[in-house]
Structure 1
Amino acid sequence: MTTPNELRLLPWSGPGGKPCYLSTDDPDGYMSRLADNIEAIQLGTAEKLLKMASETLDDEDADPIQLRRLGNALACALKDVLRVAVSREQLVPVGEPHRI
C-alpha cells in the first residue's frame, strides 16, 4: 500500500519511453486497479512465453525466424516483469517480506 507521498511505478511507459508514476493514497482507486490488472496480464504473458520458449528450444528443427521472434517477445516480457518487480518492491510495507 502506498502512502500519499509515495509514487507507484506504473506498468506502462509514457512518451519517449519515460516511466509513468501514480501518486495516490487509494490502492483501490481506478488507476491502481488498472495498473494491477495490467501487471497481471503482463505476468501471465511472460509465463506463457516461458512455456513456449521451453517447447521451442527443445525442437531441434525450430525455424531461425521463429526463434528470433520468440527472443524478441521474451525480451519485451522480461522488461515488463522487471518493471512489475520494481513497482512491487516500492509497494512492500517496511518490515514485510519481499515477494515478487
Structure 2
Amino acid sequence: MISVLRRFSTVEGISTLVLFLVAMPLKYKFGYPMAVTYVGWVHGVLFAGLWLMFLLAVVMRKLPVRLAVRGMIAAIVPFGPFLLEADGLRRFHAQCPNAS
C-alpha cells in the first residue's frame, strides 16, 4: 500500500508540474485554453485520488495519521509531494517494510 501511495504521490506531483510549466503557458502565452482544461481535469482527479489514498492508508492502519496529514498538506503545495517523498514516505517505508 505504501509503495503504491509513494508512486501515486509522485505522479500527482508530476501532474502539478505539467499543469504549471506546460498547460498554463500554453493558455496564457499561446492562447490555447484547452490545455488547462484537460491537464487541470487530470490533475484534479489525481489530487482527489491522492487524498483518498492517504485516508485509505490511515483506515487500513498502514500509515500514521500524522504522516497522512502531512501528505495531504504537501499535495496542496507545488513540489510538496516530492518533498514528502524525500522526507517522510521513503523513511517510513524503510522503517516499516511490512506496511507495503
1:63 aligned onto 2:32: yes
**Higher Cα Rg, which structure:** 1
Distance 1:97 1:89, change over 3 A: closer
Q: Percent of pairs identical after alignment? A: 3
Query: Which residue is equivalent to 2:77?
Result: none
- Return structure 1 stretches of 4+ with deviation > 3 angstroms: none
Tell me the alpha carbon deviations over residues 15-48 of structure 1, each in whole angstroms, 9 at most, x when there is no partner: xxxxxxxxxxxxxxxxxxxx33322221111000
**3-state SS of paired residue (1:86):** helix
- Equivalences, count: 64
Unaligned ranges ≥5, structure 2: 72-100
Q: Which has the higher contact order (CA 8 A, sep 6+)?
A: 2
More displaced stretch, 76-85 vs 43-52: 76-85
Contact 1:50 1:74 in 2 (8 A): yes
Q: CA RMSD in A?
A: 2.4
Q: TM-score, normalised by structure 1?
A: 0.50
Query: Which residue is equivalent to 2:54?
Result: 85
Which AA in structure 2 matches 1:51? L
Unaligned ranges ≥5, structure 1: 1-34
Within 2, Cα distance between the matches of 1:85 and 1:69?
Answer: 25
Within 1, Cα distance between the matches of 2:56 and 2:31?
Answer: 36
Tell me the alpha carbon deviations over residues 45-99 of structure 1, each in whole angstroms, 9 at most, x when there is no partner: 1000111112132452252221111111112111211112202333278xx6611
Within 5 A, what are the aligned runs for 1:1-100? 35-55=1-21, 56-59=23-26, 60=28, 61=30, 63-90=32-59, 91=61, 98-99=66-67, 100=71
